[in-house]
Amino acid sequence: MSDKPENFSGPGDFIDLLERSGYSWPKAIAGLTAIDKASVPQGTTVMAFHFKDGVIVAGDRRATAGNAIMYERCDKVIPIDDFSLMAIAGVPATAFEMARILSHNFEYYRRSQLQPLSTEGKIRALSKLLKDNMGLAMQGVGAVSPIFASYDQREAKPYIYFYDILGAQFEIQTHTATGSGSPVIRGILEYEDLWGAQKLGQRTLKEAAQLAIRLLQTAGQFDSATGQGRPEDKIYPVIASITDQGYRFMPEEELAVLFQESTKRK
């Protein structure tokens, strides 16, 4: 058994198995020179930041196509394994397919190699999928800009990585956001970490979740593609955390109470 699970190509690589079985990631569409992006659903806005016990990952629920609202209950935070989450901005169909392949890849490695894939291996696996997707991304029909968050059990440490659409990865020490509402969110997160009552990494899960709710509500004020929570319709942001216990999504009942507390005007 290899002592370097980050070298994930080979017998434990599910993506390699798919390719040897005849599956290949869709390439650029021949003859397609332009496409009306208003016809392609897009998902926004997502964020991740470190809190006291791990990482919080959150996103709004709206999917749009141009100026049209296509769906108000899109789940943009996706579990990949027990200790990893992927948050998506971009084309949901492409992102969901990437998430499915990653999930199978991580589980296939765990079962075939009798150990979990390392954090470095997980990070590289997503980068490979994004690089393979470059053709569709450049044509405007499959662009995805994800955030990957994982808790490394060996190091007892949480990680956040941001990716561009070409597969370049960047480790995030404090916070990140992507999607059309992200400029507002990133600015507020930076302010909160520098001059807030507490640094982001010192906040409790409840405090972090309240901040995430307020950030998404604020982004929705300035960005029409970011959906605000609507308690009257039971539409709340997706909020999940990753700690040494694994990932946990806040249930709707908990979100309802937290949303009311977080958005109450003083």
Encoded tokens for 232:
């009257």
Q: Rounded to an integer, what is the distance from CA 263 to the centroid of its chain?
A: 24
Contact call for residues 47 and 147 (beta carbons, < 8 A):
yes
CA–centroid distance for 171 within its chain = 14
Tokens of 145: 């800009």
Residue written as token pair 């990865």: 169
The answer to whether the CB of 43 falls within 8 A of the CB of 63 is: yes
Q: Where are the alpha helices (DSSP H) in 81-181?
A: 92-113, 119-132, 134-139
Q: Give the active site residue among 44, 45, 64, 178.
A: 44
CA angle 228, 232, 234 (to 5 degrees): 70
Which two tokens mark 146? 């994800």
Query: Which residues make Cβ contacts (< 8 Å) with residue 101, sequence separation at least 6?
Result: 14, 15, 18, 129
Contact 237, 48 (CB under 8 A): no
The Cβ-side half-sphere exposure at 56, using a 13 Å CA radius, reads 27
- How long a stretch of residues is the chain? 266
Residues 6+ apart with CB under 8 A from 97: none
Could you give the angle at the alpha carbon of 140 between the alpha carbons of 67 and 134, nearest 5°? Answer: 145
Query: Catalytic residue at 44?
Result: yes
For the annotated catalytic residues, the residue numbers are 44
